[in-house]
């Protein structure tokens, strides 16, 4: 008699759920951030400009964050976390996506909000890991985002990074509920500024 080998149900379910994943976890976005970003009054460019104007320094990273699932449906705007570089130091602040008020990032909150932030961080790379603190250029994240948005979409996340000696900006955009990524080389920005 032939013996049939069956996989345990939990293992089979895990295999089916992960077999279609063709993207890195760091590139996956929580649905709440994608949906809520599209209804945010303030853009990432506006949030960065506000932080730079009020606190000084140059922004090297920014991202939209919504702590609870679909809070935007009940008129809670979410925040932009903006990382500023000044005198070789990095400082992260939160900019309210509706009022432009600046506060400290990831304040206390309910247990659900804190759990949501922990889970979000588990699935995305830390933007500070990509930032060369002593970079060779003064970054202009606002110009990089504006250039990337010309291809369509609203910037959800952007940061300065060094890719094998090439300095540029990683920009994640949201358009029609889907995300795509743009890379803006600092040389592109220099050549546009020269024209």
Q: Tell me, yes or no, whether 168 lies in a domain.
A: yes
Q: Does residue 43 carry a pLDDT above 90?
A: yes
> For the chain, how many structural domains are there in total?
1
Q: Tell me, yes or no, whether 161 lies in a domain.
A: yes
Q: Does residue 21 carry a pLDDT above 50?
A: no
Q: Tokens at residue 59, please?
A: 């922004």
Q: Tell me, yes or no, whether 44 lies in a domain.
A: yes
pLDDT, averaged across the chain: 75
Which residue segment(s) compose the domain that 119 sits in?
Answer: 24-194
Q: Tell me, yes or no, whether 17 lies in a domain.
A: no
C-alpha 46: how far from chain center? 15
Phi, psi dihedral angles at 35 (to 5 degrees)? -65, -45
Cα dihedral 16, 31, 167, 93 sign:
negative
Q: What is the pLDDT of residue 33?
A: 76
Distance in angstroms (rounded) separating the CA atoms of residues 11 and 194? 57
3-state secondary structure of 124: coil
Q: Does residue 58 carry a pLDDT above 80?
A: yes
Between 189 and 120, whose confidence is greater? Answer: 189
Q: Tell me, yes or no, whether 138 lies in a domain.
A: yes
The pTM score is 0.70
When pLDDT is cut at 50, 70 and 90, the band that residue 194 belongs to is low
3-state secondary structure of 42: coil
Tell me what the mean pLDDT of segment 129-150 comes to: 73
Q: Tell me, yes or no, whether 38 lies in a domain.
A: yes
Q: Tell me, yes or no, whether 3 lies in a domain.
A: no
Q: Tell me, yes or no, whether 137 lies in a domain.
A: yes
Tell me what the mean pLDDT of segment 173-179 comes to: 90
């Amino acid at each position: 008699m032939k013996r049939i080998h069956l996989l345990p149900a939990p293992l089979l379910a895990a295999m089916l759920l992960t077999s279609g994943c063709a993207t890195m976890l760091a590139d996956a976005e929580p649905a709440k951030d994608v949906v809520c970003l599209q209804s945010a009054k303030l853009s990432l460019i506006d949030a960065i400009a506000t932080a730079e104007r009020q606190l000084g320094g140059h922004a090297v990273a920014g991202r939209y964050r919504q702590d609870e699932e679909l809070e935007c449906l009940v008129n809670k705007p979410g925040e932009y976390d903006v990382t500023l570089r000044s005198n070789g130091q990095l400082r992260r602040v939160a900019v309210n996506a509706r009022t432009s008020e600046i506060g400290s990032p990831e304040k206390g909150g309910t247990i659900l909000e804190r759990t949501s932030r922990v889970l979000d961080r588990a699935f995305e790379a830390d933007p500070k890991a990509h930032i060369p603190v002593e970079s060779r250029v003064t970054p202009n994240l606002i110009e990089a985002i504006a250039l990337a948005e010309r291809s369509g979409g609203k910037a959800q996340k952007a940061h300065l990074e060094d890719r094998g000696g090439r300095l540029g900006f990683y920009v994640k955009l949201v358009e029609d509920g889907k995300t795509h990524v743009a890379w803006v080389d600092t040389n592109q920005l220099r050549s546009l500024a020269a024209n």
